[in-house]
Chains A and B, each alone.
Chain A
């Protein structure tokens, strides 16, 4: 075996020019996959973190049935004793914060205009961590201790024609169905990456919302973890806990709620697959061509080593070794070049238009994802192997007497 490796290596070296072209193809394929894959990963990452931190959190806990039927009867599915639940959840490993939410719909009036809105009763302190993509553009955010205060989405504030300091009147149904009204003061105006959200959302301290709705309960507890990768771990802990204590609660991970994210991932992955396929074909064809030429110009040598007693298997190994070494060198060179390209492109950044339904432009980078590198590396190796199989087989099947005649 060692002798075949030695001969294969020297033959690669013997045809430096051609080997270099083949290696370039592998490196080019590698870079394409690493850059495209790293870019897609970054889009996924930024989108996912944006969703999680702007409002989803990593996991949301609510009363069983809230997600299916909560939209039409929001007050029938509320969590009792939210404070006690929050304390217990906070004690779980990987949990960084838990914050309550109470959502309701209502009408907003400034005396002239009346507009419907989506209200969120939130804990200003806890919400800071799951609303980091919510940016205040005017006034200030909600602060702990605020009462009868609201902040409005950019679109909603514009529609109402209000600025921080202006008064507003809120009308809504209490949990019992009675009508309640309240005077509030606009503290700030915010925007997020979602225009639809900014057009109809307002936020107020959860105590104020509870007073308005005349309840002690909340609808959801939004859990933020130390790392998105721990979502499933904590999710399972929560679910088995609810099951064991027979609590009428359910836990949902962010990815079950981020519909647009999931669709984007599917679409991008499909496009990425096509790209990978195209690159694999380019690499296969280029190595195939090289190996075929190598066999053709070495027919005489094949005849010689066969005459000397090399078995067909040996000839196959000789050419497979050549292909695999090529794939290996290409893989290593590609990894280095891919890493370099990823860092270089990331250094400058790729300006991106706002995603659908959002307002903020952002800058994508190329993530250095070990999985993508591993994939590209195995791809160069496997394609090198696959594309050497036929030429190697062909070489091993040459008629010795005819092959020998090629020695001149």
Chain B
């Protein structure tokens, strides 16, 4: 099976005034297509940074990353935006739904960016609302939804553009345990149904247990 992520000798160094922070040090790792992978490690170990690099949000200081076979290391902003729109779904710790859009419209947003015609958008959004069990809440704004419901909308939004990979940075950190587990179950179900690759970071051992494989970071290095 071809690899969806291939990272080779990744470094990410932040400059804070005169001091340097080595957020990632010589990271080499791969993710297979269809994997359900957990990224774990203590606070400050570099989980978010690594997800940002894979997600075409920040470039590495050194090293190369291939995503879906494409070398994303040295692309310009426009190309990276296109890759994010077409191949990557994001789920955030704080849900990050657009407050002025309804659940339906939030899920529809990535489809707008991809220039999908209205008819197809409608079909797709409805299917996703069903898949995350929120058909009844289509016209609710985020402020009118619970945390768990918001995160489900966010997951539907992440999947809307049929991405190759979904990156979820601590998707359950703002949810209670039960809801967090629900959300993880949902993600895993979607992973199994559609074969979409998921990488999620977490502190929570219970949440980790959902993963096919766990990658542990410590001080910016892969520990296991």
Contacts and interface: CB of A to CB of B under 8 A. Distances in A.
Interface residues of A, number: 27
Interface in A294-319: 300-301, 303-312, 314
A311 B112 CA distance: 12
A6 B105 CA distance: 10
B98 to A, nearest CB: 6
Interface residues of B, number: 29
A95 B77 CA distance: 68
Contacts of A404: 57, 92, 96
A389 interface: no
Contacts of A266: none
A10 B86 contact: no
Interface string B60-104: 000000000000000001100111111010101010101111000
A81 interface: no
B58 interface: yes
Contacts of A11: 100
B180 interface: no
B171 interface: no
B96 A311 contact: no
Interface string A111-138: 0000000000000000000000000000
A309 B57 contact: no
A308 to B, nearest CB: 5
Q: Which 4 A-B pairs have the closest CB atoms?
A: A309-B85, A10-B100, A309-B84, A304-B96
B52 interface: yes
B102 to A, nearest CB: 10
Contacts of B90: 307-308
Interface string B22-63: 000000000000000000000000000000100101100000
Given A308-B85, A309-B86, A400 B96 contact: no
A408 B92 CA distance: 10
Contact of B57 (A13, A14, A401): A401
A300 B85 CA distance: 18
8 contacts: A3-B112, A304-B96, A309-B84, A309-B85, A309-B161, A310-B81, A314-B113, A407-B94
Contacts of A307: 55, 57, 84, 90, 96
Contact of B109 (A303, A308, A401, A407): A308
Interface string A14-25: 100000000000
A310 B78 CA distance: 9
A404 to B, nearest CB: 7
B110 interface: yes
Nearest to A12: B100
Contacts of A308: 84-85, 90, 109-110, 113, 157
A329 to B, nearest CB: 17
Interface in B102-157: 105, 109-110, 112-114, 157
Given A304-B92, A408-B94, A309 B99 contact: no
Contact of B96 (A2, A14, A310, A407): A407
A7 interface: yes
A6 B99 CA distance: 13
A13 B57 CA distance: 31
B57 A407 contact: no
A11 B99 CA distance: 9
Nearest to B84: A309
Given A300-B96, A304-B92, A311-B77, A7 B113 contact: no
A7 B88 CA distance: 23
